[in-house]
Amino acid sequence: MSKKTRPQILVTGAAGTLAQQVINRLSATCDLVAVDFREKVDLGDSIPSYCIDFNKRVFEDLFRRYQFDGVIHLGRVQSSELTRMRRYNANVLGTQKLLDLSQKYGVKRVIVLSTYHVYGAVAYNPALIDESAPLKSAGLSADLVDSVELENLANLYLWRYPELNVTILRACNIVGPGVRNTMSRLLSSKAAPVLAGFSPMMQFIHIDDMADAITLTWQKTTKGVFNVAPHDWVAYQQALKLCGCTRIPIVSVPPVLPKTIARILKLRSFPHYLLAFFKYPVVIDGRTFAKEFNFEPKRSLTEIFHYYRNHK
């Protein structure tokens, strides 16, 4: 039997554009297995792809069949998707199962994609929030609890099982071709809601750069928690303008009014529990990650906004 030379990696969230970009980048040097709980994705003959719920027993069969060296967990359900309970099951219980199995089957590298949403949007946020800042999100909205819980779990495994070499990446707004999250939907739309009188500073990372960041993280075994964001900023309303979106102001005071409007409209791109992110800035400091992993984003904000403007 020939000795295994290429590392075997499990990539979750395979139906997403980001996972597919990461798979493309790693496929030359690694053997990959893709999994998604939403749908089975065809990634060619060389990459086995599965549609499995992490909470089902058959998920463990994957770990038995393939001897994974690494797990790249990109399959976090975003806060705009599914119900709160289903998100909790997928993000928290599903991640726990994934980490348990990783520990049980001797995985040596785990990368978990998180979000800057965990810091929470409050009026008193300083700018350039670093990784040691408290995660206020859970106290602000029950709909963001699963994001914080997912992080807490990953942190627990990071310290309890150092051999897993867990790295958590808290990314800013990931945008660009094929991205279907809240922010990308807003930037691609012809008209986007804004809270009247508020235009918080925001950060955007191109999906290609984010895929590069994850690939660099795989290549260097530094465990810990890292913010991933370019050292560049723009006000939300200015970003919409540059993307060619018409801004639709929503009355912002008293705060109960925009919340009620968002609840009534039920816009996927402007959910009521994310309203604070369109009011107060959550600017993260990505310099530690950039230095540690020698990461430099290649796509500028102008390039990102050009893409959205040209694809209206």
Partner 1 sequence: MGLASFIRSKLSSADVNSQIDRIKKPIGTLGYDPWGYNNDSVKFGMTLTRHLYEKYFRVETSGIENIPAEGPVLIIGNHSGQLPLDGILVGHALANREVNPRLPRAMIERFFPTVPWLGNMLNEVGAVLGDPINCAKMLENDEAIIVFPEGVRGSGKLYKDRYQLQRFGNGFMHLAMKYNAPIVPVGVVGCEETIPAIANIKPLAKALGVPYAPVALPFVLPAKVHLNFGKPMYFDSNEIPEEQVTERVEAVKSEINRLINKGLTERKRLF
231 part of the interface to partner 1, by CB under 8 A = yes
Q: Which listed range, 71-79, 84-92, 124-132, 168-176, lies at the site for partner 1 (CB under 8 A)? A: 124-132
How many residues are there in the chain?
312
300 part of the interface to partner 1, by CB under 8 A = yes
Helix (H) or strand (E) holding 32: strand 31-36
Alpha-carbon dihedral sign for residues 303, 168, 99, 67? positive
301 part of the interface to partner 1, by CB under 8 A = yes
The answer to whether the CB of 267 falls within 8 A of the CB of 175 is no
Query: For partner 1, how many residues bind (rule: CB under 8 A)?
Result: 27
Rounded-to-integer distance, Cα 125 and Cα 127, Å: 6
288 part of the interface to partner 1, by CB under 8 A = no
User: Both tokens of residue 155?
Assistant: 């942190």
173 part of the interface to partner 1, by CB under 8 A = no
**Least CB distance to partner 1 at residue 298 (A):** 13
The answer to whether the CB of 170 falls within 8 A of the CB of 148 is no
Of residues 233-252, those binding partner 1 (CB under 8 A): 233-235, 238, 242, 252
Q: Which listed range, 7-15, 91-99, 212-220, 277-285, lies at the site for partner 1 (CB under 8 A)? A: 277-285
Among 5, 28, 124, 256, binds partner 1 (CB under 8 A): 124
- Kindly tell me which of 221 and 246 has the beta carbon lying closer to partner 1: 246
**Least CB distance to partner 1 at residue 79 (A):** 23
Among 102, 199, 217, 227, binds partner 1 (CB under 8 A): 199
Q: Which listed range, 69-77, 110-118, 180-188, 230-238, lies at the site for partner 1 (CB under 8 A)? A: 230-238
- Kindly tell me which of 30 and 196 has the beta carbon lying closer to partner 1: 196
165 part of the interface to partner 1, by CB under 8 A = no
SS3 content of the chain, % helix, strand, coil (to 5): 40, 20, 40
Q: Where are the alpha helices (DSSP H) in the chain?
A: 17-26, 58-65, 84-88, 94-104, 137-140, 145-160, 182-188, 207-219, 236-242, 256-265, 287-292, 301-310
Rounded-to-integer distance, Cα 1 and Cα 107, Å: 21
DSSP-derived secondary structure for 242-256: HTTPEEEEE--SSTH
- Kindly tell me which of 94 and 297 has the beta carbon lying closer to partner 1: 297
Residue ranges binding partner 1 (CB under 8 A): 123-128, 195-199, 201, 231-235, 238, 242, 252-253, 280-281, 283, 300-302
